[in-house]
Amino acid sequence: MADYVAPLKQMRFTIEHLAEFQHVLALPDYNAVDAEMAAAVLEEAGRFAAGVLAPTNWVGDRKGVQVIDNAVQVPAELTAAYAQFCEAGWPGIASNPEFGGQGLPKTLSIACDEMWAAANVAFALCPELSQGAILALERHATDELKRAYLAKLIGGQWTGTMCLTEPQAGSDLSTLTTRAQPQGDRYLLTGRKIYITWGDHPMTENIVHLVLARLPDAPPGTKGISLFLAPKYKLKADGSPGERNDVFAVSVEHKLGIHASPTAVLAFGDHGGAEGYLIGKANEGLAAMFTMMNYMRLGVGAQGVGLSERAYQQAVGYARERKQGRAPGEKGVVAIIRHPDIRRTLLLMRALTQASRAICYYTASCLDRASHAADAESAATWQGRAELLTPIAKAFPTEVGQEVTSLGIQVHGGMGYVEETGAAQYYRDVRIASIYEGTNAIQAIDLAGRKLLRDGGAVVSAFVSEMRSVDPRLANAGEDLAVVRQALARGLDEVVLCSTHLLTGEKRDPELISAAAFNYLMLLGTVIGGWQLARGALAAGAESGAPGADRTFLDTQVLLAKFYAEQVMPRALAHGAAARAGSASIMALSVEQF
Ligand SMILES: Cc1cc2nc3c(=O)[nH]c(=O)nc-3n(C[C@H](O)[C@H](O)[C@H](O)COP(=O)(O)OP(=O)(O)OC[C@H]3O[C@@H](n4cnc5c(N)ncnc54)[C@H](O)[C@@H]3O)c2cc1C
């Protein structure tokens, strides 16, 4: 099993050139951050991910979790790693300094998220969920609740969960039934939540559940959902955890992957009611929860990137060692990395991973620029782009993650299918990422049905114009980048064609959006990835003449852009054509005919 090495150079390059870090650093709130500090944070995070977290990955997968006496037990290796994670100050790096966070930009912390996921995604889910809960509390909780809970969550002494799903309410939360009965200044919650990630564990002295539930007089559907905070242990007058609250893990799921992450069924109120506190306004809980969900969606995208990177590293290591077959001009049996098909596979893995990384980091940068903008107009512009990109940043890297980790197995041949190489674990672990946090189909419908339609395509159109603006620079680069220029131009034409088709076709074909959404999302993801790699090639070209430039690394960026243009961008046209085909054949069979 290959060791994980954080791809620091690639991450720094992506942050600087493709996530436009200079614009983030220019924001007044980030005065104290500079490129040198960012590089030091990445280096330290890389050391922690590789040295502390990565060694727990395999053992966590083997040992898994269990419920003993209504309490979840996790492997001791993870508990020890979590203690070190908190000691080193990692939980709060991007959180509000007012409550003890370090206030670093998301554009930087997303790279840390990628590294935590690459090292041990089952572990990484725990601090990621806490971060989402912190953000939701910062935005929507009362000052009293913020004072009581934020510092402990930011310090990592307590962790957070997200309790949405119920057996009958998955993608469609309108049918959720968990109840909240007012009781003085608080509420008593009763109901069952399923699939709650890190819903119970012994790693911290308290757990803070953010729970969607209904008030007695709530209207039906999504307009009657409120958000509550329910701690595992109620707080004493001095703020420390005291009496046990009425929320217990009933069982944990046996899953395909992420074995070290407890996925719990939580029973609220089996013994009279779990005490909870309202977050935000009554009946507006779904909107408040979306703060956490959107945060998590980008985080899940970063999981796709991390696991793709890890699978790539593992596959390269194996391909260098494994000898099979002969090759023209070489004596004897060669390492499989010599074969064109293995090279194609490895490059495909690397190019797709880098495209996904660039999409995620750029989305983080849009979020930073939206949340910390100096004026309302630029805040609205960047918010619009971040909202457009969020479903793409969740779904594209997680689709890619499945492909790349599967290719990783393929490079190993039979050894990939055997657990001991570790390649199979990445494939198993990444599979959930296209399901949770809203399945990729739900992301695609959000993109095509809401983000595109709601403004008549204005945000998409502005983004397309910006992506087109690299064309003169690609033209100046001459023959070397001609293939990249042509592929990007064709891809962007397809985005325009397809967007127009969806914007004008809904009346003609009421099922069009839903039928086309997945391919529309993959079209956009593929083209935005191509735009990012093209910009990478331009930045590498500009940098390669500088004294001390790392020519090998920079030339590789140019090569990746060319490879992606030749081998991946044709998929954009196929996705566009499939999206434009409409719903007729998709809807033609009766239910019985399936
Ligand atoms: C390991 C794991 C961890 C999880 N962690 C959490 C957690 O911490 N907190 C939490 O609240 N939940 C969690 N979940 C739940 C997860 O978010 C849901 O499984 C997911 O949202 C899908 O819901 P569902 O399983 O009910 O599938 P369903 O909603 O039943 O969907 C089944 C299929 O139908 C499709 N579908 C559904 N509706 C539509 C539609 N309108 N249009 C097109 N296609 C549609 C879906 O895309 C999917 O392919 C977790 C799940 C797992 C397995």
pLDDT tier at 281, thresholds 50, 70, 90: very high
What is the distance in A from the centroid of ligand 1 to the CA of 493?
34
> Which of 68, 124, 7 lies closest to 361, judged by CA?
7
Residue 161 CA: nearest ligand 1 atom is 8
CA 86 to chain centre: 22
DSSP 471-503: HHHHHHTGGGGHHHHHHHHHHHHHHHHHHHHHH
- Residue 18 CA to residue 2 CA, distance in Å, equals 29
SS3 212: strand
**What are the two backbone dihedrals, phi and then psi, of residue 173, each rounded to the nearest 5 degrees?**
-85, -5
How is residue 61 written in tokens? 């997968």
Within 13 Å and on the Cβ side, how many CA atoms surround 404? 34
For the cut 90, the answer to whether the pLDDT of residue 556 exceeds it is yes
Per-residue pLDDT, averaged over 362-386, amounts to 96
State the average pLDDT for the chain. Answer: 97
Relative orientation angle of helices 106-140 and 285-321, to the nearest 10 degrees: 160
CB 1 within 8 A of CB 58: yes
- Residue 480 CA to residue 206 CA, distance in Å, equals 58
- Residue 28 CA to residue 20 CA, distance in Å, equals 16
What is the distance in A from the centroid of ligand 1 to the CA of 163?
13
> Which of 128, 166, 436, 437 to mutate for ligand 1's pocket (most ligand atoms within 8 Å of CB)?
436
Write out the catalytic residue numbers.
437
For the cut 80, the answer to whether the pLDDT of residue 64 exceeds it is yes
The secondary structure of 120-179, three-state, reads HHHHHHHHHHHHHHHHHHHHHCCHHHHHHHHHHHHHCCEEEEEECCECCECCCHHHCCCE
**What are the two backbone dihedrals, phi and then psi, of residue 258, each rounded to the nearest 5 degrees?**
35, 55
**What are the two backbone dihedrals, phi and then psi, of residue 568, each rounded to the nearest 5 degrees?**
-110, -40
Amino acid 372: pLDDT: 94
* Interval 377-406: pLDDT, tens: 999 999 999 999 999 999 999 999 999 999
Residues near 488 by Cβ (< 8 Å), separated by ≥ 6? 467, 470, 471, 474, 527, 530, 531, 534, 565, 569
Return the percentage of the chain with pLDDT > 70, whole number: 100
Cα 304 to Cα 14, 119, 233, 403, 427, distances in angstroms: 16, 12, 34, 10, 10
The burial class, CB within 10 Å (0-12 / 13-18 / 19+), for 29 is middle
What residue owns the CA closest to ligand 1's atom 50? 195
* DSSP 8-state code for residue 55: G
For the cut 80, the answer to whether the pLDDT of residue 68 exceeds it is yes
* Interval 72-107: pLDDT, tens: 999 999 999 999 999 999 999 999 999 999 999 999
- Residue 94 CA to residue 86 CA, distance in Å, equals 14
Per-residue pLDDT, averaged over 182-187, amounts to 96
* Interval 216-233: pLDDT, tens: 999 999 999 999 999 999
- Residue 194 CA to residue 181 CA, distance in Å, equals 21
SS3 514: helix
The secondary structure of 289-324, three-state, reads HHHHHHHHHHHHHHHHHHHHHHHHHHHHHHHHHCEC
Residue 440 CA: nearest ligand 1 atom is 47
**What are the two backbone dihedrals, phi and then psi, of residue 237, each rounded to the nearest 5 degrees?**
-60, -30
Amino acid 2: pLDDT: 76
Amino acid 506: pLDDT: 82
Pairing of strands 158-163, 206-213: parallel
- Residue 19 CA to residue 40 CA, distance in Å, equals 18
Q: Give helix then strand counts, H and E, for the chain.
A: 20, 12
> Which of 54, 154, 137, 150 lies closest to 102, judged by CA?
154
* Interval 416-448: pLDDT, tens: 999 999 999 999 999 999 999 999 999 999 999
**Buried b or exposed e, range 297-330, using 16+ CB within 10 angstroms:** bbbbbbbbbbbbbbbbbbbbbbbeebeeeeeeee
Cα 121 to Cα 118, 258, 426, 431, 443, distances in angstroms: 6, 7, 9, 12, 21
Residue 163 CA: nearest ligand 1 atom is 11
Residue 198 CA: nearest ligand 1 atom is 8
What is the distance in A from the centroid of ligand 1 to the CA of 35?
39
CA 512 to chain centre: 27
* DSSP 8-state code for residue 335: B
The maximal CA–CA distance of the chain, rounded, in angstroms, is: 83
Ligand 1 pocket (Cβ < 6 Å) reads 162-165, 170-171, 195-197, 255, 263, 432, 435-439, 441-442, 445, 514
How far the first Cα of the chain sits from its last, in Å, is: 43
- Residue 340 CA to residue 261 CA, distance in Å, equals 38
What residue owns the CA closest to ligand 1's atom 26? 170
Rg (CA), the chain: 24
Residue 197 CA: nearest ligand 1 atom is 8
Amino acid 345: pLDDT: 98
Amino acid 72: pLDDT: 96
What residue owns the CA closest to ligand 1's atom 27? 170
Amino acid 70: pLDDT: 79
Instruction: Give the residue carrying structure tokens 């020519």.
Output: 551
Amino acid 189: pLDDT: 98
What is the distance in A from the centroid of ligand 1 to the CA of 395?
14
How is residue 508 written in tokens? 């003609």
What residue owns the CA closest to ligand 1's atom 25? 170
- Residue 397 CA to residue 354 CA, distance in Å, equals 10
pLDDT tier at 299, thresholds 50, 70, 90: very high
CB 396 within 8 A of CB 521: yes
Per-residue pLDDT, averaged over 538-548, amounts to 95
* Phi-psi map region of 280: left, alpha, beta (phi>0 left; psi -120 to 50 alpha): left
Amino acid 507: pLDDT: 84
Range scoring the smallest mean pLDDT among 91-100, 178-187, 566-575: 91-100
Measured at the alpha carbon of residue 56, what is the angle toward residues 55 and 60, in degrees to the nearest 5?
A: 145
* Interval 138-176: pLDDT, tens: 999 999 999 999 999 999 999 999 999 999 999 999 999
Per-residue pLDDT, averaged over 356-385, amounts to 96
What is the distance in A from the centroid of ligand 1 to the CA of 171?
5
What is the distance in A from the centroid of ligand 1 to the CA of 154?
28
* Interval 466-519: pLDDT, tens: 999 999 999 999 999 999 999 999 999 999 999 999 999 988 899 999 999 999
